[in-house]
Amino acid sequence: MALSWFRQWLGQRLISGRGHHGPDGGYSLYKDIAAGGEAYMDKGIIEQFHDMFPMTRKALTLLEKHLVEIKKCMAEWVEKSHLMESKCQLNVQQYPVKYITFVEFEDTDFPWINKEQDGAKTLKRGKLPGGNDIVQRNLEAAKKHQEQSNKEFGSDDTDDEGEVKYEHGKPKDKNASAYARSVKRIRSK
Q: For residue 118, name the pLDDT band (cuts at 50, 70, 90).
A: very low
Stretch 139-165: mean pLDDT, rounded?
68
What is the number of structural domains in the chain?
3
Is the domain of 179 the same as that of 147?
no
Q: Choose the weakest-confidence range: 45-54, 62-71, 143-152, 158-167.
A: 158-167
pTM: 0.52
88 belongs to a structural domain: no
65 belongs to a structural domain: yes
Alpha helix segments (H runs only) across 53-130: 57-81
Domain range for 113? 106-155
Is the domain of 29 the same as that of 67?
yes
Kindly report, residue by residue over 85-114, the tens digit of the pLDDT. 888 888 888 888 888 887 777 777 777 776
SS3 170: strand
- What count of residues does the chain have? 189
- 185 or 48: whose pLDDT is higher? 48
Using a pLDDT cut of 90, give the percent of the chain over it: 17
- 78 or 172: whose pLDDT is higher? 78
What gap in Å lies between CA 133 and CA 2, rounded to an integer?
A: 56
Which pLDDT belongs to residue 117? 43
Q: What is the CA radius of gyration of the chain?
A: 30
Kindly report, residue by residue over 33-48, the tens digit of the pLDDT. 999 888 888 888 888 8
89 belongs to a structural domain: no
Is the domain of 8 the same as that of 51?
yes
Which pLDDT belongs to residue 52? 86
Kindly report the average pLDDT of the chain as a whole number.
77
Q: Is the pLDDT of residue 119 over 60?
A: no
100 belongs to a structural domain: no
Which pLDDT belongs to residue 25? 84
What gap in Å lies between CA 164 and CA 150, rounded to an integer?
A: 12
Which pLDDT belongs to residue 148? 82
138 belongs to a structural domain: yes
